[in-house]
Chain A
């Protein structure tokens, strides 16, 4: 891929919202949020508990209808085409993704089934994934026996099994040792190099540093959106933790 290709690609909009709003009774969980996320971008979603991140993500995943505003994900409308959206996104969380008491092979088949892949396709992608993660000798071992680093790679592979253009990662590397963490982020960078868009929601400000751009929400509103470097510069702080606290406590 040349530089120009990369730039061309990053201009393609993968997720777009305009004044997206969601109310629960009198409470406004998400208040007129407008974002544009580009294809091949790692986009961080930060906010305190209750800031509206989860509501925002649920709307983008087609799981919750907005009250107002508009949005599209992978080119599909979030009001009218939520089923099409669900088939085009993947989801992985560090805390829960794989069934410990299924074998590695069974976990992959389970996810393939959930995503509605044909048996032939599941078999093909299962073999490719096992090879890619380097687990050929362990396919019939229980998942709980795997070291955490492998489990994570496998979990991301399962989230990508149906080849979605967009994947949501929830605190993908919290509590993981730094070596495994950096290895996993390499995998995320490889994923976006393939043209996929990665959303990361996290409380872990170290993870925010790895994103291309981060958004910060407070009380349902979007209060910042930029690259980690620019945010640190703008608020005169040396790390994202301090930027976050300064912004959210303002």
Chain B
């Protein structure tokens, strides 16, 4: 049985279709990323998984239990860290953790051990007595995560836990998630940072309420079918204008002093020499560039939009 199973999930708010037919599953013990920009529908899907919203259509099973019928049982096995976590700013770190332990009815005799464990991986131990309101952004997120983990849930759902957190704290946060996963917890985490896809075992690329692509990050990148090159030039803006006008070019993007260009076919050496001559020596070097998840995302969006307009 999968940890989470979603079939043809739809949800609208008035005339806004937030999620438009999503099917996916999260396996047991998997670290799964929901990657997409703001407004893609990530939060709606996560809230529905946590039984906080009912589907308009389709179904969601959490550990085999249906979210529309078994909400109470699902809540006891699920940890949820919402986007805006309401930590009690005027309670200390330890008081916040104890409050959540009360809420989830964690037996008194188990508490000490769990708190120690959470302090150990979050490294919040030295800050037990500090008010939550006085913690840094990264530490607040770690405390929020610890609160969501107090009842050792089998499944953990996190809504943009690394939003606004600095890169070092972000890295630490992902390291913690991997530790939790090793203990067998399934983790579903959303993020708008494309580069965080590489931290997950599998990802769903979410755009306008739909999944544009799903799979392991490396597998998604391997499926990218436009050979991508990094080009350098004396005048990179002029080079861009030139490459934009070529029929073989699928896309161009300036990156500082360099240009990334993707092609419909891998260019051969004859083409490179022609282009070098045609740009009057402006093109100085070119090398294959591995695609990022963002490149993959853009190509998938373009394809799905082409399919949509064909369907109409």
- The reply to whether A249 and B301 contact each other, CB–CB distance below 8 Å, is no
Count contacts on B: residues with CB < 8 A to the other chain.
Answer: 38
Q: Which residue of B lies closest to A147 (CB)?
A: B39
CA distance A189 to B257 in the complex (A): 11
Task: Give A179-199 interface residues, CB cut-off 8 Å to B.
Answer: 179-180, 182, 185-186, 189, 193
Question: Which of B21-29, B108-116, B148-156, B162-170 forms part of the interface with chain A?
Answer: B162-170
- The reply to whether A211 and B137 contact each other, CB–CB distance below 8 Å, is no
What are the interface flags for B126-154 relative to A under an 8 Å C-beta threshold, 1 for contact and 0 otherwise? 00000000001110000000000000000
Q: CB-CB < 8 A to A210: which residues of B?
A: 254-256
Q: Which of B39, B257, B297 is the one whose CB lies under 8 Å from A178?
A: B297
Question: Which of B10-18, B61-69, B89-97, B192-200 forms part of the interface with chain A?
Answer: B192-200
How many A-B residue pairs lie within 8 Å, measured between CB atoms? 94
Q: Which of A46, A47, A189, A206 is the one whose CB lies under 8 Å from B294?
A: A206
CA distance A25 to B135 in the complex (A): 21
What are the interface flags for B78-105 relative to A under an 8 Å C-beta threshold, 1 for contact and 0 otherwise? 0000000000000000000000000000
Q: CB-CB < 8 A to B290: which residues of A?
A: 238
Task: Give B279-309 interface residues, CB cut-off 8 Å to A.
Answer: 290, 292, 294, 297-298, 301
Interface: A248 (CB within 8 A)? yes
Q: Which of B168, B207, B258 is the one whose CB lies under 8 Å from A177?
A: B207
Q: Which residue of A lies closest to B39 (CB)?
A: A148
- The reply to whether B193 and A204 contact each other, CB–CB distance below 8 Å, is yes
Closest Cβ–Cβ distance, residue B88 to chain A (whole Å): 22
Interface: B117 (CB within 8 A)? no
Interface: A34 (CB within 8 A)? no
Closest Cβ–Cβ distance, residue B298 to chain A (whole Å): 5
Q: CB-CB < 8 A to A204: which residues of B?
A: 193
- The reply to whether A227 and B168 contact each other, CB–CB distance below 8 Å, is no
- The reply to whether B235 and A3 contact each other, CB–CB distance below 8 Å, is yes
Interface: B124 (CB within 8 A)? no
Interface: B7 (CB within 8 A)? no
Interface: A175 (CB within 8 A)? yes
Task: Give A193-233 interface residues, CB cut-off 8 Å to B.
Answer: 193, 203-206, 209-213, 227-229
Q: CB-CB < 8 A to B166: which residues of A?
A: 47-49, 203
Interface: A6 (CB within 8 A)? yes
Q: CB-CB < 8 A to A213: which residues of B?
A: 256
Q: CB-CB < 8 A to A182: which residues of B?
A: 253, 298
Q: CB-CB < 8 A to A179: which residues of B?
A: 298, 301
Q: CB-CB < 8 A to B193: which residues of A?
A: 174, 204, 206
Interface: A241 (CB within 8 A)? yes
Interface: A168 (CB within 8 A)? no
Q: Which of B38, B138, B171, B301 is the one whose CB lies under 8 Å from A148?
A: B38
Q: CB-CB < 8 A to A185: which residues of B?
A: 253-254
Q: Which residue of B lies closest to A247 (CB)?
A: B168
Q: Which residue of A lies closest to B36 (CB)?
A: A177
- The reply to whether A209 and B256 contact each other, CB–CB distance below 8 Å, is yes
- The reply to whether B256 and A228 contact each other, CB–CB distance below 8 Å, is yes
Closest Cβ–Cβ distance, residue B118 to chain A (whole Å): 22
Question: Which of B40, B137, B166, B167 is packed against the most chain A CB atoms within 10 Å?
Answer: B167
- The reply to whether B258 and A229 contact each other, CB–CB distance below 8 Å, is yes
Q: CB-CB < 8 A to A206: which residues of B?
A: 193-195, 292, 294
- The reply to whether B234 and A203 contact each other, CB–CB distance below 8 Å, is no
Q: List 15 A-B contacts (CB under 8 A).
A: A48-B166, A48-B167, A48-B168, A175-B37, A177-B36, A179-B301, A182-B253, A189-B237, A193-B237, A203-B167, A210-B256, A213-B256, A228-B256, A229-B257, A244-B168
B residues touching A (Cβ–Cβ < 8 Å)?
Answer: 36-40, 136-138, 163-171, 192-195, 207, 234-235, 237-238, 253-258, 290, 292, 294, 297-298, 301
Question: Which 4 A/B pairs are nearest by Cβ-Cβ distance?
Answer: A177-B37, A175-B192, A48-B166, A175-B38
